[in-house]
Amino acid sequence: MEIRINNYPIEIVLENEKTVKDVIASITGWINQKNLIFAGIDIDGQEYHIDDAPDLLIENISSINCIVQSRADIVYETVNEGIFYCDRVIDFLQHLEEEPMDTDELDDLVSGVEWLQEVFPTISNMLGMNLDDIKYRDETVGHYVKELDKLRHRVVKFIAEMKDDGEIDIEDSLFINLKEIFHIFLVSEEMKRLIIESIDSPDVLINSLKEIKENLPGQKAILEKAAVSYQTGNDSQGMEQLFNFIDFMFNYTRTCYQISPVFDIALKDIVIGDESLEEKNRELQILLNETVDIMENNDMISLADILEYEIAESMENLEQYIDLLLAKIVQ
């Protein structure tokens, strides 16, 4: 029987394991050591949730593929789901016609709000952050989560008492704030720590580095477009472009911080002129943190300036650094 993890064959010696459950128990120990999470299992092409896997005899099975995820990936995916959901709600509220929301739409909103109420404490727990310690626009994130609960109660009460001529007014500002808070999670020091703890396989890292290099010109163009959007007062478009860039930088940062432990390469040894890649990445992280602070202060002129001049300038020779890094890996 062949055992794979995320489609990659692994060498594992089975001793007393006789059933699928036995194999899962053995592999779970290894996964926990790597700070990974067991997401599911594929038995001869049939996928199961880990808790629903059938207890079959392994002598009747040809292959088991264990699906695992790093904690960083789970946080990243969940945060992006949250951003996508907030975008949908914002778009829906901004394009409401004169007709009020019907019961089905309100029920969907309640379900989404309840999901967000679960997501924020889950993410903060995985990042080791306290929602009441994180500030955004002079309020804590915990405050915004409480505002979600108030909204949920208000909508539920309205549905219960709904009349034919009833109408409920829901502002999009809460969801705009929540969307920005999700992005703050992505560039936080706690996210960086989780990235370092979540290690990919060497081939995944190399491919990721090559893709990052290929996408760099496009991301630089997006950065320029974001600056122009803010300069011309198109803040919503600028925000979307900026968040696209932040997602890219998350992937770049995640990849770089895994290079050292996997390939035994120190980023401080990758040098162009008198600046190492370690220093370059630290500079970019500081600039991204400053960008988030400027966004919180709603200073769009300063935001356009830092994007167009400081971040764009810092990224000018990033491709050369990646070339040096790839050369060091394959030598």
- The domain segmentation of the chain, as residue ranges, is 2-70, 73-182, 199-330
- Positive or negative, the CA dihedral 310, 312, 316, 318 is positive
Q: What is the pLDDT of residue 98?
A: 66
Tell me, what amino acid is at 53? A
pLDDT tens track for 200-242: 667 778 888 999 999 999 999 999 999 998 889 888 888 888 8
Model pTM score: 0.60
Q: How far is CA 302 from CA 185, 230, 248, 305, 311, in A?
A: 22, 9, 22, 5, 12
Cα–Cα dist 266/315, whole Å:
20
pLDDT band at 76 (very low <50, low <70, confident <90, very high): confident
Helix, strand, or coil (residue 59): helix
pLDDT tens track for 85-97: 998 899 888 877 6
Residue 256 predicted with pLDDT over 80: yes
Read off φ and ψ for residue 132, nearest 5 degrees.
-85, -5
Q: Which CATH architecture has domain 2-70?
A: Roll (3.10)
Cα–Cα dist 149/178, whole Å:
13
pLDDT tens track for 31-41: 777 667 888 88
